[in-house]
Amino acid sequence: MTPGTHAAKAEPRATVLNVNDHAATRYLVSRMLELAGYQVLEASSGQEALALAHQLPDLVLLDVEMPDIDGYEVCRRLRGREETQGLLIAHLSAASITREDRIRGLAYGADAYWTTPFEEEELLANIDALLRLQRRAQDAIRVRDDFLSVAAHELKTPLTALRLHLERTFLLGTRTKAETVPKASLDKGLSASLRQLTRLQQLLDTLLDVSRVSSRRLKLEVSTVDLVDVAREVHQRLEPTARSLGVELQLELPSGPIVLFGDRLRLEQVLYNLLTNALKYGSGKAVLLRVEEREDMAALCVKDHGIGIALEDQARIFERFERATHTQQSGSLGLGLYIAKEIVTAHGGTIVVDSTPGEGATFQVLLPLRRTERY
């Protein structure tokens, strides 16, 4: 290999620990990495590699044959230390190796085992691919941790309220015979408890839906559905909630039915998710639900006049565990729009958003007026 002018693919200032006891090879690899945009740490022995690994480089490029501690043992020790066990490690060997050598290297904890000689571009491509996979895994872990934090918060809220309502109702029920317990007080406590149980059920149903979508087990119970009737029913269901928030929930419907083949309960879920989202982020202003027919498509539109969604976030919000805002105070698991999109897709339709920050958002669902089976 000779150093060249390979275009950098690496993340800016990603760090590679280059471990090789052969000075010329170590220099050539380090120079190649530096020209590709990496920061490079160098070690000429296993002991030096173990010491430098505490700086937590993005990748350890580890030679197998070294005079003091071979690469296999260095890898094993790094994996055995809590602070370095998560490092990305790739063996790089110029020696002739056997299948057993590769198995041994991977068994000791290496993430890859590469042998030379090969072209500079090939090595850089391998390094870039390995780092890219690691970043994706780290992003997945971050998303998982964020979701678990929000989910725990969302589940804890109704559980805490439920406990308080039940404790209060229990105390009322344990009064002596001489004390009169108004029936209205018991009814109030039980009704509040039932509301919290309903909220818990909704949260658990949402999590179950995500599991079904992810494993492609979301089944549609297809029948003839009138979207006008669906919209009217969901509007009536949410109108008390909107009224309690001081929000006018407007409804625009055509004079006649709009019929298609679909899963009524799932389509209700789409509208429910879109409308509750609009009520949440609509800044207390009017929210409009409109249903209309466009040639061979049925159109559902939900429009609010709230905080809006930045252009760079408009695709992200349809992904799992993503929210229109970046705060846990949004009171959302970040699943409503994701589930809505998957249901619409299962019906052969599309869902898009048009929004300007500060000017509200319009979500539009288009559904074909013919039978489609995707799941």
Per-residue pLDDT tens digits for 228-261: 999 999 999 889 889 989 999 999 999 999 999 9
Burial of 160 (0-12, 13-18, 19+ CB in 10 A): exposed
- Residue 353 confidence (pLDDT) above 90: yes
Which percentage of the chain shows pLDDT scores above 70? 74
Query: Does residue 73 contact residue 63 with C-beta atoms inside 8 Å?
Result: no
Per-residue pLDDT tens digits for 22-59: 898 899 899 999 998 999 999 999 999 999 999 999 99
Bridge partners for 261 per DSSP: 224
Rounded to 10 degrees, the C-alpha dihedral 319/325/330/336 comes to -20
pTM: 0.51
259's tokens: 């019929």
Give the H or E element holding residue 290. Answer: strand 287-294
Query: What's the CA gap between 301 and 352, in Å, rounded?
Result: 10
Cα dihedral sign, 147-153-159-161: negative
Cα dihedral sign, 280-285-286-287: negative
